[in-house]
A = this chain, B = another copy of it.
Amino acid sequence: MIKANQRAKDYETHLRAAGVRMTKQRLAILRVLAETRSHPDANEIFHLAFAVDPSISLSTVYRTMRILQERGAIQRHAFDDGRARFEHADGEHHDHLIDVETGKVIEFRSEKIERLQAEIAAELGYEIVRHKLELYGRARPMKGAARPATKKRAS
């Protein structure tokens, strides 16, 4: 994961520039976030970061996630399972398809959908600030190609 390392550095640079103090706990969290391509909850982040720096506590994870969210460095999601899940916000917006059987989260992005949403909001007299689209689905008995990997682009 060479890219992850770079991303961690980028995070650090940006946050420092914004006047955020870099403690070893925060660095551990940034590393963890940079390395994962999934959508961990606070507890998962805590355990992963603990492996990097055992001096970290769960409250610090929560505090830091809040700061990162305020700075726009991460996104907080509230899927239907109750707890908050986090994901780094490295630029590009995308939506989620959640496998109802395995809980697996697949990311995708569709320009058509984005456009349509803006149109609908406009018709209702609104301007979209952000949005959340979650598809909950069941994998179909494969017809041809192999099961798609994590990041997909749809029409």
Query: Complex Cα distance A57/B131, Å?
Result: 35
Give the residues in chain B near A126, CB-CB below 8 Å: 97, 99, 106, 135, 137-140
Query: Complex Cα distance A127/B101, Å?
Result: 12
Give the residues in chain B near A127, CB-CB below 8 Å: 137-140
Q: Is B132's CB under 8 angstroms from A117's CB?
A: no
Give the residues in chain B near A123, CB-CB below 8 Å: 152, 154-155
Q: Which of A50-98 contact B (CB under 8 A)?
A: 76, 78-80, 82, 84, 97
Q: Is B124's CB under 8 angstroms from A130's CB?
A: no
Contact of A154 among B113, B120, B137, B138 (CB under 8 A): B120
Cβ of A110 under 8 Å from chain B: yes
Number of copies: 2
Q: With A80-B76, A125-B142, A142-B125 in contact, do A131 and B120 touch (Cβ < 8 Å)?
A: no
Number of interface residues of A (CB under 8 A): 45
Contact of A128 among B128, B135, B148 (CB under 8 A): B135
Contact of A117 among B79, B106, B135 (CB under 8 A): B135
Q: 24 A-B residue contacts at CB 8 Å? A: A76-B80, A78-B79, A80-B132, A82-B84, A99-B126, A100-B129, A110-B116, A116-B116, A119-B154, A119-B155, A123-B152, A123-B155, A124-B148, A125-B139, A125-B140, A125-B142, A125-B148, A126-B137, A128-B136, A128-B137, A129-B138, A131-B135, A132-B133, A133-B133
